[in-house]
Amino acid sequence: MPVKIVDNDPEQTRRFRELALPHLDDVYTLARYLLRDAADADDAVQECYLRALKHFHTYQGPSIKPWLFAILRNVCHAEYARRASAPSTGADELPEDAERTPIWHETQETPEAAMVKQHDAGTVRRLIAGLAEPFRETFVLREIQNLSYREIADVAAVPVGTVMSRLARARAMLRSAWLAEQEPKK
Amino acid sequence: MTCDEAEILLHALIDGELDAGHAREVEAHLATCAKCAAAARDYREMKKAVAQGGLRYTAPPELRRRIEASLPQTAAPTRRALLKGFAMGSAVSAMAATGLFAVILRSDDEARLQTEFVSAHLRSLQANHLTDVVSTDQHTVKPWFNGRIDIAPPVVDLGSQGFALIGGRLDYIDGRPVGSVIYGRRQHVINLFVAQGAGTEPRAAKMETVQGFNIRRWSDRGLAYWAVSDLSKEELANFGEKFEAATRAAG
């Protein structure tokens, strides 16, 4: 297959700037949640934009956000692979029992309003960061990036049914963690 | 609707992704099931909190500047872009690369594969998704798979043993076409997924539970089987044993 070098058509580059740059904060937000590290997120986002420009001729619309996210996700998985081969802790490995975590946490007799108030953004971010990777990704794409199930399925390259079950599991795990947070500390 | 189904579908309801018919069914379930209703209430509150919660990040100005600077300003490619071009060295689209990663990441992940089978089972329970060919006659269901997939799933009649043949369906698991033979017992559905096995060695049955569904998986004569159902483990094991005995008897 012939190697295709970015031809830097000025018109293409101009269009890319107009379409892709306004989503920089979205892409950066996703990178922060996927990689859980500010410096790694910087590098991944920059790499994502370089790749996106290079492959811009393959972009067909309609919405550029999921397309950018799919590229970012590739970059992040390369980063996971690098981390996994590095002799550090495998913090991103899916725990063996993640799929078997009990989905139900019996509700406490606590008003939901109180439950919400007690949780500032920092707490919620920490709870989200505690989810295993596939669940965290699905949850962030849905709740923070507002993608539809179909768009999430395309970004994550899985069937919509998988998106549904991952989202259900992610929310169930968050709900358990959320309710546990508000139990009085000893 | 059972709690197992509602557990998944109530999220689609909250997210506005459910069609009117299913939305009514889920709402009807929530009206009668305190446990699911409590969960739905918490999920709605969580959703609201997350939406208001200032959970987004802003790209640092330095990063924005670096990216702006890395985009070519003129018709001449920058040295960096050229190097990048060689380094990545192929014309495959970014989307194709996405698919490739997915295959590499998922192929060895049994747990995730099982989740996919459960997803396929859940999808099949939605209205009009269960069967592509409806027949209680094994001699109708079996030939239907010909030409649709590159294996021939055995279809045996277990009606006299309490498992009625309902039909067949083509499904996609992990991006590959997979046959499903559908059986019923009372009001319960069994999706028996059949795919090319990894080897010809028979593998003894293993029972697992994923999201409240039981999965009995085994391999025999080069085919891999996953029976997925909300039947009890005992009944699903009973189904698997009867199926294995019948296929062996059929030669």
B11 touches chain A (CB under 8 A): yes
A43 pLDDT above the threshold of 60? yes
Q: What is the mean pLDDT of chain A?
A: 79
A10 touches chain B (CB under 8 A): yes
Q: Tell me the ipTM for this assembly.
A: 0.77
In B53-208, where does DSSP find H-type helix? 61-70, 79-88, 94-106, 110-125, 138-144
Chain A residues whose beta carbon lies within 8 Å of the beta carbon of residue B4: none
pLDDT of residue A184: 57
Highest-scoring range by mean pLDDT, A175-184, B16-25, B171-180, B214-223: B214-223
pLDDT of residue B199: 66
Contact residues for B140 (Cβ-Cβ < 8 A; gap 6+): B133
**Inter-chain CB proximity A50 and B12 less than 8 Å:** no
Task: Order across the sheet with B203-210: list the strands.
Answer: B133-134, B164-173, B176-185, B188-196, B223-229, B213-220, B203-210
CA distance B52 to chain A (A): 9
Distance CA B191, CA B181 (A): 6
Are A54 and A13 within 8 A, CB to CB? Answer: no
Nearest to B116 among A73, A119, A159 (CB): A159
Contact residues for B66 (Cβ-Cβ < 8 A; gap 6+): A46
Which DSSP state fits B161?
A: G
Query: pTM for this structure?
Result: 0.53
B45 pLDDT above the threshold of 60? yes
pLDDT of residue B85: 39
Tokens representing residue B222 in the block? 């080069």
The better pLDDT of the pair B30, B137 is held by B30
**Inter-chain CB proximity B71 and A159 less than 8 Å:** no
Contact residues for A24 (Cβ-Cβ < 8 A; gap 6+): A45, A49, B59, B63, B64, B67
Residues 160-179 of B with CB under 8 A from A: 172, 175
Nearest C-alpha in B relative to A80? B105
Which DSSP state fits B72?
A: -
The better pLDDT of the pair B111, B13 is held by B13
Nearest C-alpha in B relative to A110? B42
Distance CA B135, CA B210 (A): 29
Distance CA A21, CA B226 (A): 46
pLDDT of residue A100: 42
Q: Count CB atoms within 10 A of the CB of residue B201.
A: 10
Q: Give A99-154 pLDDT, tens digit per residue.
A: 444 333 333 434 444 444 445 778 888 899 999 999 999 999 999 999 999 899 99
A39 touches chain B (CB under 8 A): no
Percent of chain B whose pLDDT exceeds 90: 31
Q: Which of A42-51, A149-158, B72-81, B224-233 has the lowest mean pLDDT?
A: B72-81
pLDDT of residue B117: 86
Highest-scoring range by mean pLDDT, A101-105, A139-143, B170-174, B207-211: A139-143
A54 pLDDT above the threshold of 80? yes
Nearest to B77 among A8, A103, A174 (CB): A8
Q: What is the mean pLDDT of chain B?
A: 80
A17 touches chain B (CB under 8 A): yes
The better pLDDT of the pair B134, B34 is held by B34
Single-letter amino acid, residue B221: R
The better pLDDT of the pair A57, A104 is held by A57
In A36-131, where does DSSP find H-type helix? 38-54, 64-85, 112-117, 121-129
Nearest to B94 among A46, A51, A143 (CB): A51
Nearest C-alpha in A relative to B81? A6
Nearest C-alpha in A relative to B65? A46
> B106-134 burial by CB neighbour count: b if 16+ within 10 A, else e?
beeeeebbbbbbbbbbbbbbeeeebbbbe
- As a whole number, mean pLDDT of residues A85-104 equals 47
- Give B95's pLDDT tier (boundaries 50, 70, 90): very low
Distance CA A108, CA A106 (A): 7
**Inter-chain CB proximity A29 and B7 less than 8 Å:** no
Helix/strand/coil for B168: strand
Residues 48-67 of A with CB under 8 A from B: 49-55, 58, 67
Distance CA B140, CA B181 (A): 12
pLDDT of residue B72: 75
B83 touches chain A (CB under 8 A): no
pLDDT of residue A68: 95
- Give A45's pLDDT tier (boundaries 50, 70, 90): very high
> Cα-flanking dihedrals φ and ψ of residue B196, to 5°?
-60, 130
B38 touches chain A (CB under 8 A): yes
Q: Give B97-132 pLDDT, tens digit per residue.
A: 333 333 333 334 567 778 788 888 888 887 667 888
